[in-house]
Structure 1
Amino acid sequence: MFAAKAFVLSLLVVYANAKCDISPRFWCTSRAIAEQCGVLQACSDWWEVQSQGTASPVAISLYFESLCPGCREFITQMLYPTWKTFKATGIMKADMTPYGNANEEQLPSGMWNFTCQHGPEECTGNLIENCLLKYTGYEFDTYFPIIYCMENSQDPIAAAEKCITDAGQDWATINKCAKNDEGNGLMHKSGMKTDALEPKHKYVPWILVNGMHTEELQQKAQTDLPKLLCEMYGGEKPQECQMFMHPHPTAKKQKLRNHQ
């Protein structure tokens, strides 16, 4: 395994296209990128090696804000049904950062004053969701159905208490966190994480795939996340991928609807 890895890395050095402006660690994250950087054969060799062992799940990282219409659409219409379809397969892992296009200013007290794109209510929603993440141990499978419940509601902030309580979480603790310095500090950390993105985020939802953002990956994630997952997973494709990799368009849409 190590010899094969070294072999692939050596090929990457030999065949790297000088015009490729993508970091070498991302060359084999998709066929399109491998072709662009002139390392398709080398990456194909590596994918073959990976498929013989236990491949890593495809990592999806979502940077969003609570009242953003585009974020809510992606969460409810694409990310949630995809997660429902593939959560038992092990080919996907995900995380969320509630902050988005907010801005912050530190007060003399040391606390942070936040200004959110869709007004003060969005800041409240972001704070609740940051506290929710903490009090569910940052376990995606635990907090994501609750965030889906909120974002799929007509008013995510008004729905928060019921969504959290119905999921068996302690609303009083999370609400208290959102209203005091604990939530303030958690949202500041999400802000620092968002501001540290490379490349810098320009809009939300902002999606990273295996730690990388490109306009191509963003477009594929927003329009056909199941297919992207199946294409990028380096191991043996689960049965669930069959519907999405060579689908009839109507059947694919029905498949996602069935898992909402």
Structure 2
Amino acid sequence: MKYCICYLLLLAGMLEINARRHRAKVNDKLPITLYYEALCPYCMQFVTEQLNPAMIRQDRLPYTELTLVPYGNARENEAGNVACQHGVDECELNAWHACILEHHDVIESLKLIACMMRSRKNKLDKCADRYNINVTAVKDCKKSRSVDDILQKYAVATNRVPHSGVPAVAIDNVYNDQEQEYISENFDAAFCAKYETKFDKKLPNCA
């Protein structure tokens, strides 16, 4: 009986240590904000070849506070009408992305958006089937609201950042125009370096 009690106490202690470690990991998240537009070739390349592989394959997402802002170089006139750099189709796709972000968590949102950005057409249904994600709420969002209304808050967020083009990436809530070329081509390395500097720890698979 004494041994049993000792074992249970030891087990409880180990579980508490693991819980503390888990809480530390959850708290140590590096803010990453991507300002982009759906039909920009450079944005499509960055999301599919840099951001998504880092977040999913390299498992950076648990250590990231990721924010996606689908607006890019669009412009809003005084009446609140949005004109996108690559035309009406891009505004439509930006709005689809926005509805995804409003109705799904960041993991499902990134999966759907990265999948959709491998094409210049709306592949929502195909991507949803691929990942077995229910997108009914996304469709209701897009059907019930205007594109201008859906994109309005993303316009506000984007206009706060003096970016010179997209993709534009802010790391730890700081946008540095001089670092954009390096980040766009070496995102995972940039993420690892910033994370280690901020939290004084090296993540798995970081060089």
Q: TM-score, normalised to structure 2's length?
A: 0.77
Question: C-alpha deviations, 1:140-168, integer Å up to 9, x for none?
Answer: 21200100110012x342x1222134434
**Offset, 1:213:** 1.3
How far apart are the structure 2 equivalents of 1:116 and 1:89? 29
Q: Which position in structure 2 is the counterpart of 1:149?
A: 115
Q: Which position in structure 2 is the counterpart of 1:256?
A: none
Is residue 129 of structure 2 the alignment partner of residue 161 of structure 1? no
SS at match of 1:239: coil
How many aligned positions are there? Answer: 180
Is residue 109 of structure 2 the alignment partner of residue 120 of structure 1? no
How far apart are the structure 2 equivalents of 1:65 and 1:126? 6
**Pick from 99, 117, 123: which aligns with 1:131?**
99
Is residue 175 of structure 2 the alignment partner of residue 213 of structure 1? yes
Q: Which position in structure 1 is the counterpart of 2:67?
A: 95
CA contact (8 A) 1:165 1:171 kept: no
**Pick from 132, 136, 155: which aligns with 1:191?**
155
**Offset, 1:226:** 1.6
**Offset, 1:182:** 6.1
Q: Which position in structure 2 is the counterpart of 1:237?
A: 202
SS at match of 2:89: helix
**Offset, 1:230:** 1.7
SS at match of 1:240: coil
CA contact (8 A) 2:164 2:177 kept: no
CA RMSD across the alignment: 2.3
How far apart are the structure 2 equivalents of 1:78 and 1:89? 13
CA contact (8 A) 2:55 2:61 kept: no
CA contact (8 A) 2:163 2:177 kept: no
Mark the runs of 5 or more structure 2 residues left unpaired by the alignment: 1-23
SS at match of 2:202: coil
Mark the runs of 5 or more structure 1 residues left unpaired by the alignment: 1-52, 246-260
Residue type of the alignment partner of 1:135: H
Q: Once the two structures are aligned, what percentage of the paired residues are identical? A: 26
CA contact (8 A) 1:82 1:225 kept: yes
**Offset, 1:236:** 2.3
Q: Give the direction of change, closer, same or farther, for the CA distance of 1:179–1:58 in structure 2 (3 Å limit).
A: same
Q: Which position in structure 1 is the counterpart of 2:50?
A: 78
Q: TM-score, normalised to structure 1's length?
A: 0.62
Is residue 185 of structure 2 the alignment partner of residue 223 of structure 1? yes
Question: C-alpha deviations, 1:32-65, integer Å up to 9, x for none?
Answer: xxxxxxxxxxxxxxxxxxxxx8773222110000
